[in-house]
């Protein structure tokens, strides 16, 4: 039996090579760096936990919970302590598949503790310029598990908001932005930096909010499960 020869004309070969090149370009256009970026993040909200009145009946009790409280709990110092060099930060990889809330040490330029890590991170992207290589913004929802550390004993958080993306790399970036109509619709606003009254940072990688539950050791040594109905998030300049 004669073996059939595979024959491809020069023209067909050029077409196949051209298609392969187009495919390669399409793949490379979405192949972003896997190096995570870390952004200074502020969080402010009012927590609710269970207490009792003089007649031993259940009553609401309230505890302000800010980003510095999560930091202090993770480092084992009393709630309400505002540390100078150790700050809350959001670490997110360039393709927005994983994210973590961390304690960033400005003196050593390193993450020194993990507060929460995403178990899922879903995004919807927007590309405002057809000729750009990548989208320039995205909306995200992340489900996070609290990492038990020192006075931070456990819990969960759901983060939702938006991130600005660099249209030349696809990575999150911090720029000057204003809240848009969707931010207002979702009740997201830019939290001010009460940790540092001299802070005049105008760069924002994004804004959003968090809801969830955290288990904390209070200053008096009691352990309380604190509901967080709404924590405003301000995701600011890049730290590394």
Q: What is the DSSP string of 14-47?
A: HHHHHHHHHHHHHHHHT------EEEEEEEEEEE
Decide if 93 is inside a domain.
yes
Q: Which of 24-33, 42-51, 190-199 is the least confident region?
A: 24-33
Decide if 20 is inside a domain.
no
For the CA atoms of 133, 139, 143, 146, the dihedral, rounded to the nearest 10 degrees, stands at 90
Q: With a cut of 90, say whether residue 240 has pLDDT above it.
A: no
Specify the higher pLDDT residue, 147 or 178: 147
Q: With bands split at pLDDT 50, 70 and 90, how would you rate the model's confidence at 34? A: low
- How many distinct structural domains can be found in the chain? 1
Q: With a cut of 80, say whether residue 197 has pLDDT above it.
A: no
Decide if 233 is inside a domain.
yes
Q: Which contacts qualify for 5-14: CB closer than 8 Å, 24 or more apart?
A: none
Decide if 7 is inside a domain.
no
Specify the higher pLDDT residue, 162 or 6: 162
Which domain, by its residues, includes 62? 32-238
Q: With a cut of 70, say whether residue 20 has pLDDT above it.
A: no
3-state secondary structure of 184: helix
pLDDT for res 190: 83
Q: With bands split at pLDDT 50, 70 and 90, how would you rate the model's confidence at 8? A: very low
Q: With bands split at pLDDT 50, 70 and 90, how would you rate the model's confidence at 236? A: very high
Decide if 1 is inside a domain.
no
For 38, the token pair is 């870390």
Decide if 10 is inside a domain.
no
pLDDT for res 7: 42
Residue 191's contacts (CB-CB under 8 Å, 6 or more residues apart) are 42, 43, 44, 232, 233, 234
What average pLDDT does this structure show over 125-143?
97
Decide if 85 is inside a domain.
yes
Q: With bands split at pLDDT 50, 70 and 90, how would you rate the model's confidence at 15? A: very low
Specify the higher pLDDT residue, 87 or 192: 87
CB 160 within 8 A of CB 182: no
Given phi > 0 = left and psi -120 to 50 = alpha, else beta, which region is 150? left
Decide if 19 is inside a domain.
no
Beta bridge partners of 60: 50
Q: With a cut of 70, say whether residue 28 has pLDDT above it.
A: no
CB 229 within 8 A of CB 211: yes
Residue 100's contacts (CB-CB under 8 Å, 6 or more residues apart) are 90, 91, 92, 114, 115, 116, 117, 118, 144
What average pLDDT does this structure show over 125-154?
97
Q: With a cut of 80, say whether residue 25 has pLDDT above it.
A: no
Q: With a cut of 50, say whether residue 21 has pLDDT above it.
A: no
Report residue 226: phi and psi, to 5°: -110, 125
């Amino acid at each position: 039996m004669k073996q059939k020869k595979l024959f491809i004309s020069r023209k067909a070969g050029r077409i196949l090579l051209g298609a392969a090149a187009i495919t390669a370009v399409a793949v490379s256009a979405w192949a972003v760096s896997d190096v995570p970026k870390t952004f200074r993040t502020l969080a402010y909200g009012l927590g609710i936990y269970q207490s009792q009145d003089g007649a031993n009946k259940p009553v609401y009790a309230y505890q302000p919970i800010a980003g510095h409280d999560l930091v202090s709990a993770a480092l084992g110092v009393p709630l309400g302590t505002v540390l100078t060099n150790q700050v809350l930060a959001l670490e997110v990889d360039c393709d927005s598949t994983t994210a973590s809330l961390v304690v960033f040490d400005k003196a050593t330029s390193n993450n020194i503790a993990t507060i929460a890590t995403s178990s899922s991170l879903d995004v919807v992207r927007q590309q405002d310029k057809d000729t750009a290589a990548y989208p320039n913004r995205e909306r995200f929802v992340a489900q996070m598990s609290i990492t038990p550390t020192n006075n931070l004993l456990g819990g969960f958080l759901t983060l939702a908001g938006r991130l600005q993306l660099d249209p030349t790399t696809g990575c999150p970036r911090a720029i000057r932005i204003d809240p848009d109509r969707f931010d207002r619709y979702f009740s997201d606003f830019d939290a001010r930096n009460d940790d540092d009254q001299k802070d005049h940072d105008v760069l924002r990688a994004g804004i959003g909010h968090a809801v969830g539950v955290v288990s904390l050791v209070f200053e008096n040594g009691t352990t309380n499960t604190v509901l967080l109905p709404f924590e405003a998030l301000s995701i600011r300049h890049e730290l590394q």
